[in-house]
Structures are given as structure tokens and as C-alpha cells.
Amino acid sequence: MTSVAVENGFPESPFRDQRFTVVDRWDQCANFADDDPRKVLEFMHRQMNEEMDATECSARAIVDFPDAPWEVRMFLARQCADEARHALIFARMFQARGGKLGDYPILNFQYRIICQIPTLIGRLAVQNRTFEAEGIDAIGYGIDEARAQGDDELAEFFDGQFADEIMHVRCANEFIHEMLAKEPRLAMKVAQALSFATKAFGQVVGGDGTAVAKYTISETGRREAGFRPEEIKVASQLAEDRRENALARKGG
């Protein structure tokens, strides 16, 4: 099977030690049914690695854009600290519940997509303003779901993570608006980065929308993250369309 990496010329995966099996596509991960007790464990393991990817992407941005304004570099350094803390908490919860690191395959699509984007504004638009904004939606849903299942430990962690991720998206939104006000032509770079990421992400998930089938956007989270009302409306409509498509595919 040709790997997505070969097809796209993505950067190599970040280093993982021999305990971990790194795969290229969503369907190569362990995707358990909702009622499977391993589902929450696998989620923690996968999410731990996603948080590690986010740490590594922000670290790479500091290295790759040494001339970026100081506030942006400080923000990226703070983001590294937050994402590394999230990874550690997921690892701790996962192991406390009997998981062993490396039990499930991991994906490094975030790193491989984001680190291929040549501009800082493009990376902020994809990493923070898109992937992490979708993370806010997922966490907003996750808080309610964990509470409903009586998993207070996970719900409390999500609550703290929700606040961190909102800040990551909010700061990126502010930096992007400032950069565009100074240099409106950069809007083209944002558009290029977004269309590249959409296409690359589509290859990773293979057109399977089950991951977005259960929830829509967190309007409160997105408002606090600095999205404008018209942007929230568009994101909500897109999420609803994706959800309907995913449900139609599942039913058909």
C-alpha cells in the first residue's frame, strides 16, 4: 500500500520510539465501537499523541520562523508547554486505567501536514484556527459525554483543556487579523494553506466522516476563541452539512 507520505511528500513523522506503531491513515487506527470498553483508552492514547504532535508543531514553528514577532514566538513557546502538559495528563490517565504505551497505532498527520506549510500565518490558520478550533468543538462535546458516563476525572481534565485550547485559537485569531491588516496579500497564503490541509486531511481520513458525525460546533467556545458571528454561522453550517453527509453514508 502506498503511504500517504509518499503520495504527498509529507515531512517524515516526528520520532517515536520502538514501542509505537505509526500508521498513515485513520482506517489503520484501532477504531472501536462506542460501547467497547477499549474506546476511551484508545482515545486517550491517540489524543496523547495528538497533543505531542501539537507540541512538536509549535516547537517547529519557533525554529522555522526565527524572525517572527517576539509576542508570537512567546505565544508558541507557551503553547508548547500547554500541549506537552496535555500529552502528559493523557499518558497518566491512560496508564492509570491499565493502558500500556504503544498498545494502539498512532497517526502523526498533524505534524506532517502542518510542518509542510511554508508560511507562519498558514500554519496558524491550519493548526490553531482549524484543527484546534475543531478540537474545541470536540472537547465541548466530550465534557458532556464524560459527565453523562460518570467519568468525572476525564470531564474535569477536559474542562481545563477547553480553556487552554480556547486561548490557543484566540491568540492565533488575533495574530492572523494583525498580520492581514498589515499585509492583506497574506490572505492568499492562508487560502493556499487551508486548501492544502483540507486535501491532505481528506487523504488521511479517507473520506470517512464518522469522527464528526456525533456533534456540531461549540458556539460558546468559538465565540470565546475570537471567531466573529458570521464565521461561527459558516462553521456551524459546514459542520451540519458534514454531519448529514456522514449520517447519510452510514445509513446507505
Give the footprint of Fe ion on this chain (CB under 5 A). Answer: 51, 83, 86, 132, 165, 168
Nearer to Fe ion, 42 or 132 (CB): 132
Smallest distance, Fe ion to C-beta of residue 128, A: 7
Nearer to Fe ion, 4 or 134 (CB): 134
How far apart (Å, rounded) are the C-alpha atoms in residues 192 and 111?
17
Nearer to Fe ion, 13 or 127 (CB): 127
Residue 226 C-alpha from the chain's centroid: 18
Smallest distance, Fe ion to C-beta of residue 105, A: 20
Alpha helices in the chain (DSSP H): 4-8, 38-64, 70-96, 109-114, 120-123, 133-148, 152-182, 186-205, 219-224, 229-251
Nearer to Fe ion, 4 or 87 (CB): 87
Smallest distance, Fe ion to C-beta of residue 86, A: 4
Smallest distance, Fe ion to C-beta of residue 187, A: 24
* Exposure letters 234-251 (e unless 16+ CB within 10 A, then b): ebbeebeeebeebeeeee
Smallest distance, Fe ion to C-beta of residue 218, A: 14
Nearer to Fe ion, 24 or 53 (CB): 53
Let me know if 33 is exposed, middle or buried by CB neighbors in 10 A (0-12, 13-18, 19+).
exposed
Nearer to Fe ion, 48 or 246 (CB): 48
Q: Which three cell numbers stand for residue 168?
A: 490557543
| Contact criterion met (CB below 8 Å) for 156 and 220 | no
Smallest distance, Fe ion to C-beta of residue 229, A: 23
Bridge partners (DSSP) listed for residue 107: 23
